[in-house]
Structure 1
């Protein structure tokens, strides 16, 4: 029997996180975009094994000189179970393939550091125990349901921030863990906490990119009183948007 040695380089690894718990997903998702190839490893990471313009670079462990020209790819991730909403995100290649000195942290763009991508729940998602459940109908200035809007709920003390996306019907689900529960030793301790609201939206022909939208949040004048384990349903209007 003859053994054949094959060398190849991983271009990047992508790790998907749950918006509520910030923990890595264990369920498989579908990832595609712009001719990239992926392989899901035993840790649940989606490893980029090839990309247009990077085939020779990926085929060997030896770093070429010069490196391939930098390129940005737009990818779309979807969940077959439909518990998470589709979203897009960008990936820049090549990532830094230089191992850091012993004991030093990895640089943010290191190929040895996974690219974290947060997935946001659809209305089908079941919350964890004690998380507040905030269901929002997002509409434009004419009360038309607004798909692909990013909504932020923020609390200053304790510091809590959670985001949610609206689906094709304008419905957004935001699951908020970490809200203090009733303190039976202090009857005057608050149960409900007032969260501020902000939102962002941009016209797009593909699933929204929350990371890009977050650069243009608009504060809303309304607030929302939320308690641990409770469910709140309301409508918010983005009066600067008209479909």
Structure 2
């Protein structure tokens, strides 16, 4: 007896990748509602809170991208592109920002034993608003940043260990120039150096960067701005400070 099987319908497609939005203080994936705008892409949020790029709709190279999405054997070369997007939080817990998603995601891991970026969601970190609650053991900064006599909105803050580029905390100013930066994991007591038996503070550098060409109400990509070298259109201030677990520092800063 010969069995006959009929294929009624198939729907096999390739997705381009996914976005994962991360809380700057905890490092956890944000599961509350977010407004994500990625022009030219169709997004679908899954149960893990990831925004999956299921298709690309923009006109440029549309046929080549459809071929990549629909062909599996052989897999065609994917056209490289960068999609700029924005994200905001309707509840106001996180500050809005710009980001860029580079596609296609690499199918090869950066290091042996790591997962290839193709199989991981691209992580986009969101900075907290100044009203976010703090845990009692966190070191924190409440900053008011001004430039040229006005509030410096969208200024990016990085707290680095003194003498190093290791980032211990991050934040960004809102429209009023106010920012909250939490430094999580500062020990209450650490072994001291030389004549000190114990140390209760750590030395840090507070690095504040602002784009002086930014239009009113425009958004920045804080990661790109923080990494940008000094040059035209960039104002930067570095302030040394000592932080301690459970202590909140309140500072007024003026950018050059």
Q: What TM-score, normalized to structure 2?
A: 0.79
Equivalent of residue 122 in structure 1, options 116, 129, 136: 129
- Equivalent runs, 1:48-63 vs 2, <5 Å: 48-51=53-56, 52=58, 53=62, 56-57=66-67, 59-60=69-70, 62=72
**3-state DSSP of counterpart to 2:198:** coil
Matches within 5 A, 1:1-243: 4-51=9-56, 52=58, 53=62, 56-57=66-67, 59-60=69-70, 62=72, 66-96=76-106, 98=107, 104-107=113-116, 110-140=117-147, 142-156=148-162, 161-182=168-189, 188-202=197-211, 203-205=213-215, 206-216=218-228, 220-239=237-256
Report how far residue 67 of structure 1 moved.
2.7
Give the CA RMSD over aligned residues: 2.9
Q: Is the 8 A contact 2:158 2:167 kept in 1?
A: no
Q: Take 1:129 and 1:157, find their aligned partners in 2: how far apart are those partners?
A: 27
Separation in 2 of the partners of 1:157 and 1:148?
26
Q: Which runs of 5+ in 1 are unaligned?
A: none
Q: Structure 1's 49 and 189: CA in aligned 2 closer, same or farther, altered over 3 A?
A: same
SS in 2 for 1:222: strand
Q: Deviation of residue 43 (structure 1)?
A: 1.2
> Structure 1 segments of 4 or more deviating over 4 A?
63-66, 156-160
Deviations 1:89-115 (A, max 9, x none): 10111223x477xx85334xx321210
SS of the residue corresponding to residue 84 of structure 2 reads strand
Give, in angstroms, the shift of residue 138 of structure 1. 1.1
- Give the conservation status (yes or no) of the 8 Å contact 2:162–2:203: no
Count of matched residue pairs: 232
Rg larger for: 2
Q: Distance in 2 between matches of 1:50 and 1:161?
A: 37
The TM-score normalised by the length of structure 1 is 0.83
Q: Which range moves more in the overlay, 77-86 or 209-218?
A: 209-218
Distance 1:8 1:66, change over 3 A: closer
